[in-house]
Amino acid sequence: MIEFKKVSKSYDSQTNVIDQLDLKINKGELVVLIGESGSGKTTTMKMINRLHEPTSGTILIDGKNIMEINPIELRRNIGYVIQKVGLFPHMTIGENIELIPTLKKWDKAKKRKRTEELLDLVGLNPQQYIDRYPNELSGGQQQRIGVARALAVDPEVILMDEPFSALDPITREQLQEELLKLQDELHKTIVFVTHDMDEALKLGDKIAVMKDGKIIQYDTPENILKNPINDFVEYFVGKDRLWKSPEMVYARDIMKKQPATISLERTPAKALEIMKEKQTDYLLVVDVPGDRPKKVQGIITPKELKNKTTSDIKMKDILNKSYHVVAEKTNMVQVLNIMKENKLKNLPVVDEDGYLKGLITQTTILNLFADAISDYEEA
Ligand SMILES: Nc1ncnc2c1ncn2[C@@H]1O[C@H](COP(=O)(O)OP(=O)(O)OP(=O)(O)O)[C@@H](O)[C@H]1O
Ligand SMILES: [Mg+2]
């Protein structure tokens, strides 16, 4: 775990470019620092491996004050990837990756084996690339080598300062995917700096939005999107962002919370009465009446009620059992697909135990789009 405690930094002893910064980064988390140019992202990152030192305050790694660790030793145990890759042009790919293993005096065979492993890991054929020089590789390939090099000695902590920002959008997206896959396997503690909110939302377990050397909001991507703490964060996120990231809008965010229900033992006359009162032609038939948690058993629409209005008929006799439900965390893209593919106008939402939580209807979705459009026009 990395912890900043009231860390300040000034370069000229007048202005604090980092101002009383508190930040906790849990082990195995990928935390993104985002903010405008000059907000202090790189400075914050470089204090972690002591390329810069705080003017005041403390930084701990796994509870240990980093000022008590030899800086060279510290740096050898922290992977570091920067935008301009920083590969040495006169060294082969293999030698570049083996830089720190060499400093750590690993034997040749061990180094080779590790380098081949790493090239595989970042999607480059070892035989083909290990003896080439950096300028014989594309920008994206060089950046992959940068990542491989950072992983060479299997450090717990990896710092990445805008590692993908010089790449074209397609290569960039590819490398983001690869980083996520890598992280899924390796669970490193990663601090990742970017200017790009899309990248932050995609990669971050948490995002720290920085301004003038301070962290304005530190939260999950979902919360940054949905509950920006102030106008600055909202502006930074972009008002229409939710609509650029529909996979972050979940069924539970859009569902109507109290859908019309009817219990199994009720009659068609009661069904008609509820439909009229709630102005709907779609009722969820549930196992129990009243306010208790309910499970959906089927649905009732005018079709099921047709010619079945006598009072000896109960909902349990006529309910339609072919219906779909989705979990609360089903995202908007999936919801829309399910509704489209199955030609649904209504989609109940249930929790993990199958209890009814709400209902998504065509109207809820239309209203949502209407809101988004009016936000968009205001922005
Ligand atoms: N070596 C230095 N000497 C003096 N001032 C510096 C030095 N490095 C950074 N600064 C100043 O500290 C502030 C924060 O810089 P930093 O590089 O941390 O910003 P950043 O958020 O990484 O910006 P960018 O997005 O442009 O990379 C800036 O005002 C910058 O001018
Ligand atoms: Mg920077």
Alpha-carbon gap, residue 298 to 316, rounded angstroms:
9
Write the pLDDT tens digit of every residue in 98-144. 988 998 889 999 999 999 988 988 888 999 999 999 999 888 888 88
pLDDT tops 80 at residue 332 = yes
The response to whether residue 209 sits with its C-beta less than 6 Å from ligand 1 reads no
Share of the chain above pLDDT 90, in %: 60
Q: Which domain holds residue 203?
A: 2-248
**What pLDDT is stored for residue 147 in this prediction?**
86
Q: Which residue has the higher pLDDT, 240 or 30?
A: 30
| Pair (100, 244) in one structural domain | yes
Instruction: Indicate whether 376 pLDDT > 70.
Output: no
The string of DSSP letters for 181-236 reads HHHHHH--EEEEEES-HHHHHHH-SEEEEEETTEEEEEE-HHHHHH--SSHHHHHH
Asked if 195 and 331 sit in the same domain, the reply is: no
Residue nearest to atom 17 of ligand 1 (CA): 42
pLDDT, averaged across the chain: 90
Average pLDDT over residues 367-375: 69
The response to whether residue 38 sits with its C-beta less than 6 Å from ligand 1 reads: yes
Q: What is the per-residue pLDDT for 229?
A: 93
Q: Are residues 198 and 259 in the same domain?
A: no
**CA-proximal residue: ligand 1, atom 12 (nearest):** 17
Do 23 and 10 sit in the same domain of this protein? yes
Is 16 near ligand 1, meaning CB less than 6 Å away? no
Last residue of a domain, one of 226, 248, 270: 248
Confidence at 308, pLDDT banded by 50, 70, 90:
confident
- Flag whether pLDDT at 166 surpasses 80: no
Confidence check: pLDDT of 340 > 90: yes
Ligand 1 lined by 35 (C-beta under 6 Å): yes
Contact 351, 328 (CB under 8 A): yes
Domain end marker among 193, 222, 248 = 248
- What is the tens place of the pLDDT at every residue in 186-198? 899 999 999 888 8
Q: List the strands of the sheet with 56-61, edge to edge.
A: 18-25, 2-9, 56-61, 64-65
Residue 10 has pLDDT above 60, yes or no: yes
Atom of ligand 1 at shortest range from CA of 40: 18
| Structural domain contains residue 231 | yes
Residue that finishes a domain, picked among 220, 248, 276 = 248
Does 241 share its domain with 277?
A: no
Indicate whether 283 belongs to any domain: yes
> Which tens digit of pLDDT belongs to each residue from 37-70?
889 999 999 999 999 999 999 999 999 999 999 9
Q: What is the pLDDT of residue 283?
A: 96
pLDDT tier for residue 154 given thresholds of 50, 70 and 90:
confident
Ligand 1 atom having least distance to the Cα of 36: 25
Atom of ligand 1 minimally distant from the CA of 213: 14
64 touches 3 (CB < 8 A): no
